[in-house]
Amino acid sequence: MVVESILMKESEKKIFERLENLYCEMDSAWEKIASLYGFICNGCDENCCESEFYHHTLIEKKYLLKGFNQLPTPQIILATKRAKKVCTKRDIAAKKQESIRIMCPLNQDGKCILYKYRPMICRLHGIPHELVKPASYSSNSNTKPLSDINPILISDANPVLSSGCNAGSELFSAKGYIKFDRTPFYSEMAAIEKEYLTTVVGKNVRNKQTIAQMLTKISF
């Protein structure tokens, strides 16, 4: 039992390293393209941390919580309180069928307190991009979990182009679209999730949570 648990920890550590490498690649690709536009993400009225995104991988949740548990206790308590408030406000809005913008509980005084551990969507947001999605997967649906996506299927479909954020719109239209393909990042993330579910979790678990939900429903 002890040996099994040590092996599990080792597997998890290796998968975290793979995830960190992917995050590094995303960050440098994003920086490179943003600099070609002359775009700097430096706080704006339309703060993307006020947009609620669903995150679909368990490995990213686990990694985020790893960082969260290393925060000083007072910061953990405050962020958990903020997360509970966000969930309550969101539930009220959902009942009224209203859409709301609400600040992520990890944003404190305009800064992400888990910047190093932030998930993929937070890293890729902002600049115009393309993504090839298989028809069976939609980031807003409960269909296939990321780990079920076949990278070969991804490469056979047509890319979907998306515009960047409003803060950079003038810069983006002045330069025209500079290719930023998210597909290889999604593909590698799907492979990492699959490895994590197979070698560490031992079953196929679907995840679809906002950051606030992750912080209030900590176990999985």
Q: Which residues bind ligand SF4 (CB under 6 A)?
A: 49, 104, 106-107, 112, 114, 118, 122, 211
* Min dist. Cβ of residue 174 to ligand SF4 (A): 26
Helix (H) or strand (E) holding 131: strand 129-132
Rounded distance, CA 202 to CA 7, Å? 13
**Cβ-count burial of 32 within 10 angstroms (0-12 exposed, 13-18 middle, 19+ buried)?**
exposed
In this structure, the strands spanning 111-112 and 129-132 are unpaired
* Min dist. Cβ of residue 53 to ligand SF4 (A): 7
What Å distances lie between residue 96 and 48, 92, 93, 108, CA to CA?
Answer: 23, 6, 5, 28
Q: Among candidates 149, 134, 160, 141, which has minimal Cα distance to 187?
A: 149
Taken in order 111, 31, 47, 52, is the CA torsion positive or negative?
negative
Which of 87/211 has CB closer to ligand SF4?
211
Which of 78/112 has CB closer to ligand SF4?
112
Which of 15/106 has CB closer to ligand SF4?
106
Rounded distance, CA 60 to CA 7, Å? 20
Which of 104/131 has CB closer to ligand SF4?
104
Q: Which tokens is 159 given?
A: 């890319």
- Three-state DSSP class for residue 69: coil
Which of 122/131 has CB closer to ligand SF4?
122
* Min dist. Cβ of residue 180 to ligand SF4 (A): 18
* Min dist. Cβ of residue 15 to ligand SF4 (A): 20
* Min dist. Cβ of residue 64 to ligand SF4 (A): 7
Rounded distance, CA 100 to CA 12, Å? 36
Which of 112/157 has CB closer to ligand SF4?
112
* Min dist. Cβ of residue 47 to ligand SF4 (A): 8
